Structure 1
């Protein structure tokens, strides 16, 4: 499978659905969480109902953001 066809499959899959769950590995890094949140915001702006979830510990670098 070429990269072009894989990319097209992902794009078509996103177009075909309304609800999207964005996940990351357990105990994600700051970069993983940032990417998941960015993708979730982007998908919501496209009119999708996207939700980001993760399990594990919040990375120490961003524990100041806990409420």
Structure 2
């Protein structure tokens, strides 16, 4: 998995918007759970982890267009 620049800002290869590592997001359309961006994978998807403290810290990738900044 790739990582961002020194200021921890990540530019998704598919869009012009910026999201930051550590930023909290919800998943569309009715996003009720909150996740933190922890990395960006080789395909430019943001790797998320729940902020609810799920044991083992399950992580999964999502496309930027499916994320709503908190």
On whether the aligned pair clears a TM of 0.5, the verdict is no
TM-score by length of 2: 0.21
Higher helix fraction: Structure 1 or Structure 2? Answer: 1
TM-score by length of 1: 0.22
Higher RCO structure (Cα 8 Å, ≥6 apart): 1
